[in-house]
Structure 1
Amino acid sequence: MLSPILLVIALAIALTSPGSIFFSQWRVGKRGKLFRVLKFRTMTMNADQQHHRVMADQSIHCLHKREDDPRITVIGKWLRRYSLDELPQLINVLRGEMSLVGPRPWALYDAVRLSADMQLRLNALPGMTGAWQVSGRSTQLDLETVSQQDLDYLHNWSFRGDIQILLRTLPKVLSGFGAF
Structure 2
Amino acid sequence: MTTSIIPTLENLYDVTQQHQDNRSYCTLQWRRGKLLVKLPGQVKQPYLPSLNSKRSLIECLQHSPVSLVSIDPKLGEALLRFWADACEQAHKPIFLRIPAGNKLPKQPNQPLQRLIDWIAALMLLLLVSPVMLGLIILMQVYSPGSLFCREWHVGERGKLFRAIKFCSTTKHNITPLGRWMRKYSLDNLPQLFNVLRGDISLTESHSWTLEDAVQLNQLPEITASWEIEAQSNALQLDTQTL
Structure with a larger share of its residues in helix: 1
Question: As a proportion of its length, which structure holds more strand?
Answer: 2
| Structure having the higher Rg | 2
